[in-house]
Structure 1
Amino acid sequence: MAKKATKNEKSIEETLWDSANKLRGSVEPSEYKHVVLGLIFLKFASDKFEVKRAELLADGKEKFIEMKEFYNMSNVFFLPELSRWSYIMQQAKQDDIALKIDTALHTIEKNNPSLKGALPDNYFSRLGLDKSKLAALLDTINNIDTQKDPTQDIVGRVYEYFLSKFAIAEGKGKGEFYTPKSIVNLIAEMIEPYKGIIYDPACGSGGMFVQSIKFIEAHHGNTKQVSIYGQEYTNTTYKLAKMNLAIRGISGNLGEKAADTFADDQHKDLKADYIMANPPFNQKDWRADTELVDDPRWRGYEVPPTSNANYGWILNMASKLSDNGVAGFLLANGALSGGGEEYKIRRKLIENNLVEAIVILPRNMFYTTDISVTLWILNKNKGKQEKSIGDEKRTYRERTEEVLFMDLRQIGEPFEKKYIQFSEQHIQEIAKTYHNWQTYNVIANGEQQSLYKDVPEYCCSVTKEEIAKKDFSLVPSKYIEFVNRDENIDFDTKMKSLQSEMTQLLKDEAQSKADLLNVFSELGYDIKL
Structure 2
Amino acid sequence: MAESQNLSALIWSVADLLRGDYKQSEYGRVILPFTVLRRLDCVLEATKSAVLAEKEKREAAGLPAEPFLRKASGYGFYNDSPLDLPKAAGDQDNIAENLHDYTQAFSPEVRDIFECFEFAAQLDRLAKADLLYLVTDKFANVDLHPDVVPNDKMGHVFEELIRRFAELSNETAGEHFTPREVIALMVNLLFTEDDDVLARPGVVRTLYDPTAGTGGMLSTAEERLTDMNPDARLVLSGQELNAESYAICKADMLIKGQDVARIKHGNTLSDDGHPGQVFDYMLSNPPFGVEWKKVQKDVKKEHKDRGFDGRFGPGLPRVSDGSLLFLMHLISKMRPAKDGGSRLAIVLNGSPLFTGGAGSGESEIRRHILESDLLEAIVALPTDMFYNTGIATYVWVLSNRKAPERKGKVQLIDGSRLFRKMRKSLGSKRKELGPEDIAAIVRLHGDGVEASVAEVDEHGRAYDRPVSRVFRNEAFGYQQITVERPERDAAGNVVRHNGRKQKGEPKADSSLRDTETIPLDADPEEHLAAEVLPHVPDAWVDDSKTKIGYEIPFNRHFYVFRPPRALAAIDAELKIVTDRIVAMIGGLSA
Q: Distance in 2 between matches of 1:382 and 1:48?
A: 42
Paired residue for 2:345? 328
Q: Distance in 1 between matches of 2:317 and 2:13?
A: 45
Paired residue for 2:250? 242
Shift of residue 381, structure 1, vs aligned partner: 1.0
Q: 1:226-250, CA deviations, whole angstroms, 9 ceiling, x for partnerless residues?
A: 2222112233332222123223333
- The answer (yes or no) to whether the contact 1:406–1:459 under 8 Å persists in 2 is yes
Q: 1:402-437, CA deviations, whole angstroms, 9 ceiling, x for partnerless residues?
A: 211122222223344252221233222222222232
- Which among 195, 204, 214 is matched to residue 205 of structure 1? 214
Shift of residue 153, structure 1, vs aligned partner: 4.3
Q: Which moved more, 1:19-28 or 1:235-244?
A: 19-28
Q: Distance in 1 between matches of 2:151 and 2:136?
A: 15
Q: Distance in 1 between matches of 2:57 and 2:314?
A: 58
Amino acid at match of 2:398: L
Q: Distance in 2 between matches of 1:473 and 1:414?
A: 32
Aligned length: 443
Q: SS in structure 2 opposite 1:369?
A: coil
Paired residue for 1:18? 13
- The answer (yes or no) to whether the contact 1:405–1:480 under 8 Å persists in 2 is no
Q: SS in structure 1 opposite 2:289?
A: coil
- Which among 145, 154, 161 is matched to residue 165 of structure 1? 161
Shift of residue 134, structure 1, vs aligned partner: 5.3
Shift of residue 181, structure 1, vs aligned partner: 1.8
Q: SS in structure 1 opposite 2:171?
A: coil
Instruction: Identify if the C-alpha distance between structure 1 residues 23 and 426 changes in structure 2 by more than 3 Å, giving closer, same or farther.
Output: farther
Shift of residue 383, structure 1, vs aligned partner: 0.8
Instruction: Identify if the C-alpha distance between structure 1 residues 56 and 134 changes in structure 2 by more than 3 Å, giving closer, same or farther.
Output: closer
Q: Distance in 2 between matches of 1:163 and 1:19?
A: 17
Q: Distance in 1 between matches of 2:245 and 2:253?
A: 12
Paired residue for 1:75? 75
1:318 aligns with 2:331: yes
Q: SS in structure 2 opposite 1:330?
A: strand
Q: Distance in 2 between matches of 1:483 and 1:129?
A: 68
Instruction: Identify if the C-alpha distance between structure 1 residues 332 and 188 changes in structure 2 by more than 3 Å, giving closer, same or farther.
Output: same
Paired residue for 2:315? 302
1:184-263 paired onto structure 2 within 5 Å: 184-192=183-191, 195-222=204-231, 225-254=233-262, 258-263=265-270
- The answer (yes or no) to whether the contact 1:118–1:242 under 8 Å persists in 2 is yes
Q: Distance in 1 between matches of 2:55 and 2:275?
A: 46
TM-score of the superposed pair, with normalisation by structure 2: 0.67
Q: SS in structure 1 opposite 2:343?
A: strand
Amino acid at match of 1:27: Y
Amino acid at match of 1:72: R
1:264 aligns with 2:271: yes
Paired residue for 1:387? none
- The answer (yes or no) to whether the contact 1:44–1:247 under 8 Å persists in 2 is no
Q: SS in structure 2 opposite 1:363?
A: coil
Q: Distance in 2 between matches of 1:22 and 1:477?
A: 50
Paired residue for 1:476? 554
Q: SS in structure 2 opposite 1:364?
A: coil
Q: Distance in 1 between matches of 2:300 and 2:10?
A: 52
Q: Which moved more, 1:422-431 or 1:268-277?
A: 422-431
Paired residue for 2:172? 174
Shift of residue 30, structure 1, vs aligned partner: 5.6
Shift of residue 213, structure 1, vs aligned partner: 1.1
- The answer (yes or no) to whether the contact 1:331–1:373 under 8 Å persists in 2 is yes
Paired residue for 2:354? 337
Shift of residue 189, structure 1, vs aligned partner: 1.6
Instruction: Identify if the C-alpha distance between structure 1 residues 30 and 354 changes in structure 2 by more than 3 Å, giving closer, same or farther.
Output: farther
Q: Which has the larger radius of gyration?
A: 2
Shift of residue 457, structure 1, vs aligned partner: 4.7
Shift of residue 103, structure 1, vs aligned partner: 4.0
TM-score of the superposed pair, with normalisation by structure 1: 0.74
- The answer (yes or no) to whether the contact 1:412–1:421 under 8 Å persists in 2 is yes
Amino acid at match of 1:480: F
Shift of residue 160, structure 1, vs aligned partner: 2.4
- Which among 379, 396, 410 is matched to residue 399 of structure 2? 379
1:117 aligns with 2:112: yes
Q: Distance in 2 between matches of 1:217 and 1:21?
A: 40
Shift of residue 139, structure 1, vs aligned partner: 4.0
Which structure shows the higher helix fraction? 2
Amino acid at match of 1:302: G
Amino acid at match of 1:476: F
Q: SS in structure 1 opposite 2:296?
A: coil
Q: Which moved more, 1:364-373 or 1:191-200?
A: 191-200
- Which among 410, 434, 442 is matched to residue 431 of structure 1? 442
- The answer (yes or no) to whether the contact 1:355–1:379 under 8 Å persists in 2 is yes
Shift of residue 21, structure 1, vs aligned partner: 5.3
Q: Distance in 1 between matches of 2:387 and 2:325?
A: 24
- The answer (yes or no) to whether the contact 1:228–1:253 under 8 Å persists in 2 is no
Q: Distance in 2 between matches of 1:22 and 1:250?
A: 35
Q: 1:105-128, CA deviations, whole angstroms, 9 ceiling, x for partnerless residues?
A: 2332xxx13335212322423543
Unaligned runs of 5+ in 2: 60-64, 199-203, 454-464, 478-518, 521-548, 565-590
Q: Which moved more, 1:398-407 or 1:21-30?
A: 21-30
Paired residue for 1:84? 84
Amino acid at match of 1:229: S
Q: SS in structure 1 opposite 2:411?
A: strand
Q: Distance in 2 between matches of 1:124 and 1:246?
A: 23
- The answer (yes or no) to whether the contact 2:8–2:160 under 8 Å persists in 1 is no
Instruction: Identify if the C-alpha distance between structure 1 residues 307 and 156 changes in structure 2 by more than 3 Å, giving closer, same or farther.
Output: closer
1:356 aligns with 2:379: no
- Percent identical across equivalent pairs? 20
- Which among 134, 138, 141 is matched to residue 139 of structure 2? 141
Paired residue for 2:99? 101
The CA RMSD over aligned residues, in Å, is 3.4
Instruction: Identify if the C-alpha distance between structure 1 residues 431 and 69 changes in structure 2 by more than 3 Å, giving closer, same or farther.
Output: same
- The answer (yes or no) to whether the contact 2:408–2:472 under 8 Å persists in 1 is yes
Amino acid at match of 1:356: E
- Which among 330, 346, 351 is matched to residue 366 of structure 2? 346
Q: Distance in 2 between matches of 1:482 and 1:264?
A: 46
Q: SS in structure 1 opposite 2:377?
A: strand
- The answer (yes or no) to whether the contact 2:28–2:165 under 8 Å persists in 1 is no
- The answer (yes or no) to whether the contact 2:452–2:466 under 8 Å persists in 1 is no
Q: Distance in 2 between matches of 1:107 and 1:31?
A: 26
Q: SS in structure 1 opposite 2:326?
A: helix
Instruction: Identify if the C-alpha distance between structure 1 residues 98 and 481 changes in structure 2 by more than 3 Å, giving closer, same or farther.
Output: farther
Shift of residue 64, structure 1, vs aligned partner: 4.3
Q: Which moved more, 1:71-80 or 1:23-32?
A: 23-32
Q: 1:116-167, CA deviations, whole angstroms, 9 ceiling, x for partnerless residues?
A: 52123224235437967654554443344445x74x6436523422322322
1:39 aligns with 2:37: no
Shift of residue 364, structure 1, vs aligned partner: 2.1
Q: Distance in 2 between matches of 1:341 and 1:427?
A: 33
Q: SS in structure 2 opposite 1:356?
A: strand
Paired residue for 2:540? none
Q: SS in structure 2 opposite 1:209?
A: helix
Instruction: Identify if the C-alpha distance between structure 1 residues 207 and 102 changes in structure 2 by more than 3 Å, giving closer, same or farther.
Output: farther
Q: 1:299-337, CA deviations, whole angstroms, 9 ceiling, x for partnerless residues?
A: 652344444322221211111111220111112211100
1:410 aligns with 2:417: yes
Instruction: Identify if the C-alpha distance between structure 1 residues 318 and 330 changes in structure 2 by more than 3 Å, giving closer, same or farther.
Output: same
